[in-house]
Each structure stands twice: as C-alpha cells, then as structure tokens.
Amino acid sequence: MPVQLSPNVDLPTIEDLDISGRLVLIRVDFNTPLKDGKVADDTRIRAALPTIEYALKQNAKVILMSHLGRPKGRNVDELSLAPVGEVLAGYLKREVLLSDRPMGEGSAYLVQNLKDGEVLLLENVRFHSGETKNNEHLAKELAAFTEFYVNDAFGTAHRAHASTVGITQYIHEGVAAGYLMVEEVRALSRIQHAHRSELLAVIGGAKVSDKLAVLRSLILKANTVLIGGAMAYTFLAAQGAKTGLSRVELDQLDTARSLLALAQEKNVKLLLPVDHLGATEFSEESEVQTIDSIDIPDDLMGLDIGPKTIELFSEAIAKAKVLIWNGPMGVFEWPAYATGSFAIAEAFAQSNGYTVIGGGDSVRAIHESGQAEHVSHVSTGGGASLEFLELDKGAFLPGIEAIIKRDLEIKQLQDELNQELAAQPKLTPID
C-alpha cells in the first residue's frame, strides 16, 4: 500500500512493485565513516537492511548503488565501497559482488549475469562527475541496468542527483520508496501536519544562519519553540542581553529580531535560556562556571544551558503532544557541556507524546545520552530531515517528488497502453 502524504499525494513503497525474479536497483545511503580502510560505524548499512532483505526474499536480482564521501568525480581508492560490501555480506550472510567502476562494461557484464537472489554493489556513484550534476547521460546509463528502481537513501533526498532524481525519468517498470525512506517520511510528516496547539520544537546547534528556513517554518507551525545552543546567544543579543564572549552572529541580529517579532505576532511561546554554563575560553579544559542570569559577564562565554533553563524547557516538553528536536543545547562533545543536551534527551524520553530527533549532531547527542530507544523516531538524514520540515517542502524534497511523479507517469502510460490493446480488434484464430 502506498503511503498517503496528503489527500492526493501517494508515495509508492517497494511492496507495491512486483519484483520477483526481476532486476531492482536500490539507491541506498552507504555514506559511512571509514577508518583505516574499515567501516567505523555501520548504522547506515544496518538501516538499509530491511529493504535489501525484502527484495532478496522476493527473489529479485538486487543491484545496490550509493555514494561515499566526496571523490569529486574521480576514482579515489580510499572512497571505494569495498569495505561496505564486506560488512553488508556479513549481515546478509551471502556474497556481495562489487563492480570496479560504477558504470561501464564491467558493471554491465555483472548485471547481465546476475541471478535471482544475488546482490551486486555498484562502486561509488560519485566517481562519476555527472552524479552530483544530475547528468542526463549518467542517469540514462544507470537506468539501463535495471527494470525497477527503489530509493531508500533518505539522507540524500534533498539533493537532485543522477542516482536519486535523473534516473527515475528512464525507469519504465516501476519506482518506489524503500522502508527507511517510508519510515522517515511517515515520522517527519507527523511533525509537518501536527496541529499547532500540539507541536513543540527545540532548536539549537551552531548557527542561526544554518537553520533560518527551518526556524521560520517551525515558528509558523509550532505552539512552543525552545532555543538553545550557540544560536541562542544571537537571539539573546538581538533582545539586548549581554552575551560576553559567546558566539554571536553579528550579521544575523536583524534576522533574529524579525524571527522574534514573527513569534510574537503568531502568539508562539518562544523561550530562550535564562541561565548558562560557561567558561573564560573555548576549551575543554577551562573551568566550568554557572552563570545564574540571562546576562553573561564580559569575560565569559556561554557553552551550555544552565539548570534553570533545563527546568523551564523540561516543563514545556512535558506538556507537548508532538515534539521535534534539532541541534544540541551546548558543546555536548565535551562532557562538562553535555548536561543541557542530555537533559533534553531525558525529557524527550519521558514524554508521552510523539518525539522525533533530527540532525547530525543532535542524533549523536541522543545516542550518547542513552535515550535513543525511548523516543519515537531518530532520523538518519541530517540535512534532509531539516529541509523536509521547511515550509511546503516535505514530499517535495527532490528525491521523494521524483518518485511520486514518475510513479504517476508510469501508471498513466500503462493505462494508455492497456486501453489501446483493449480497443484493438480481437484476432480470431483461423481454422
């Protein structure tokens, strides 16, 4: 059954395709961190398993495709997917073939000889410069490998690349989203379509300028917005508070003021830190000081939210029904300034509402806090999950929209073909 994203927008899923004994190319996100030529964290490989295992259970011929790092259109040995293939083979308990180039005769030969239930991993698709340029020629060549196309790479859904967008135009049998993509879209849609009175957003992290669009959209959607992290000091400075040596984006003060005004106009409860943890310099070794006021002394910088802010934020979190958190509350990489982020993690874990965490560092923070299992959804896509939450984005992220559109086109073409066949005079056999 397709996932209904809005009354007339359906996202088809891999279960809607009849892939048994057929070729299916799955775009996965195997962009995993490597160390000394080995996979350092296999979270993304594990996240792709349900879709791959489903396709294998259907006895499909499975071709996998992913990018890894930024080879910038060249063959970079250190960015080969070979170590990923090894880990994957372990999980699937079967051989994973690897092509030496993403495209070309070698890959074509392997595809032609692929048998039901076999897995072929194409080499890093970004070894081709056409990938990130959404090059038509590359898209066509990739599409020529397969009958069906499944996109399960939510982490790159916000990019229009040849392997995520261009390729869909040249697929004729069927296109769909994989399980990971579907799960992400379901969770983030719940945030996007939440009733204003129920929605609370916690936003933090490094910069206002990184998150302008999502800040604006969450202020327009949510009932309560809590702001922490370094970006809080830009907001505090915009309100005229003293911020000492804290990281303030001077070129964003006007923007911060207009966001504060927008919140007031929309009657949104926007809360900023009322106290802080700080130090005299940006260093893990510096002595931690509690700053028991909104204002930060001239010789100190804010590096985390303080205990009163934790209480204030936690109370608001306890009342909300639908919650989204992006961006750490402090420099959580240093244990002394992880307190604020871990307290938010705890408050999210204890919430009876629907809780979603999105963003690279915030996801790391929730895992390190040990609370990841107690929240409703931890998004695997940093940039993609943020963009999804921007106003009017959602299902219109390029990688998702491409599937929805192509699915409609394919169905229309198939309908037309069927009508033509039905309209043709029946041939009666001659005795």
Active-site residue (options: 44, 61, 393, 406): 44
Tokens for 336, please give them.
Answer: 């002394």
Beta bridge partners of 3: 11
Active-site residue (options: 205, 278, 359, 360): 360
Q: Is 73 a catalytic residue?
A: no
Binding segment (CB under 6 A) for ligand ADP, from list 17-25, 34-42, 159-167, 327-335: 327-335
Is 330 a binding residue for ligand ADP by CB under 6 A? The answer is: yes
- Residue with Cβ nearer ligand ADP (34 or 212): 212
Nearest distance from C-beta of residue 231 to ligand ADP, angstroms:
8
The total of other beta-carbon atoms located within 10 Å of residue 95's CB is 11
Is 205 a binding residue for ligand ADP by CB under 6 A? The answer is: yes
Is 382 a binding residue for ligand ADP by CB under 6 A? The answer is: yes
| Chain residues 232-261 in contact with ligand ADP, contact rule CB under 6 A | 247
Nearest distance from C-beta of residue 64 to ligand ADP, angstroms:
27
Binder of ligand ADP out of 81, 303, 320, 344 (CB under 6 A): 303
Active-site residue (options: 190, 364, 383, 405): 383
Nearest distance from C-beta of residue 364 to ligand ADP, angstroms:
8
By Cβ distance, which residue is nearest to ligand ADP? 205
- Residue with Cβ nearer ligand ADP (183 or 361): 361
Give the C-alpha separation, 190 to 180, whole Å. Answer: 16
| Chain residues 290-329 in contact with Mg ion, contact rule CB under 5 A | none
Is 71 a binding residue for ligand ADP by CB under 6 A? The answer is: no
Nearest distance from C-beta of residue 299 to ligand ADP, angstroms:
16
Beta bridge partners of 175: 149
Is 368 a binding residue for ligand ADP by CB under 6 A? The answer is: no
Tokens for 366, please give them.
Answer: 């929730």
Strand 23-27 to 96-98 pairing: unpaired
Give the C-alpha separation, 88 to 93, whole Å. Answer: 8
Q: Which does 12 bind (CB under 5 to 8 A by kind): Mg ion, ligand ADP, none?
A: none
Binder of ligand ADP out of 83, 85, 302, 394 (CB under 6 A): 302
Q: Which helix (H) or strand (E) holds 201?
A: strand 199-203
Nearest distance from C-beta of residue 383 to ligand ADP, angstroms:
8
Asked if 42 and 87 count as a contact pair (C-beta separation under 8 A), the reply is yes
- Residue with Cβ nearer ligand ADP (328 or 353): 328
Binder of ligand ADP out of 134, 243, 252, 362 (CB under 6 A): 362
Asked if 190 and 201 count as a contact pair (C-beta separation under 8 A), the reply is no
Is 389 a binding residue for ligand ADP by CB under 6 A? The answer is: no
> What is the arrangement of strands in the sheet containing 354-357, beginning at the earlier edge strand?
269-271, 224-227, 199-203, 322-326, 354-357, 377-378
Strand 119-121 to 61-65 pairing: parallel
Q: Which of 44, 49, 12 is nearest to 148 (CA)?
A: 12
Nearest distance from C-beta of residue 103 to Mg ion, angstroms:
32
Q: Is 130 a catalytic residue?
A: no
| Chain residues 335-364 in contact with Mg ion, contact rule CB under 5 A | 360-361
- Residue with Cβ nearer ligand ADP (237 or 303): 303
Binder of ligand ADP out of 361, 387, 390, 407 (CB under 6 A): 361
Phi, psi at residue 197, to the nearest 5°?
-65, -20
Tokens for 264, please give them.
Answer: 């007031």
Is 379 a binding residue for ligand ADP by CB under 6 A? The answer is: no
Nearest distance from C-beta of residue 325 to ligand ADP, angstroms:
9
Q: Which of 106, 115, 113, 62 is nearest to 88 (CA)?
A: 62
Give start and end residues of each alpha helix (H) in 144-230.
179-192, 212-221
Q: Which of 387, 395, 334, 327 is nearest to 357 (CA)?
A: 327
Beta bridge partners of 271: 226
Tokens for 36, please give them.
Answer: 């000394």
Give the C-alpha separation, 254 to 258, whole Å. Answer: 6
Q: Is 278 a catalytic residue?
A: no
Q: Which does 29 bind (CB under 5 to 8 A by kind): Mg ion, ligand ADP, none?
A: none
- Residue tagged 């100190």 (tokens): 300
Interaxial angle between packed helices 179-192 and 43-57, expressed in degrees from 0 to 180 and rounded to the nearest 10:
120
- Residue tagged 């911060």 (tokens): 256
Q: Is 35 exposed, middle or buried (0-12, 13-18, 19+ CB in 10 A)?
A: exposed
Size of the site for ligand ADP (CB under 6 A): 19
Q: Is 44 a catalytic residue?
A: yes
Active-site residue (options: 207, 247, 321, 364): 207
Residues assigned a catalytic role: 44, 207, 360, 383
Point out which residues bind ligand ADP (CB under 6 A). Answer: 205-206, 210, 229-230, 247, 302-303, 326-328, 330-331, 333, 359-362, 382
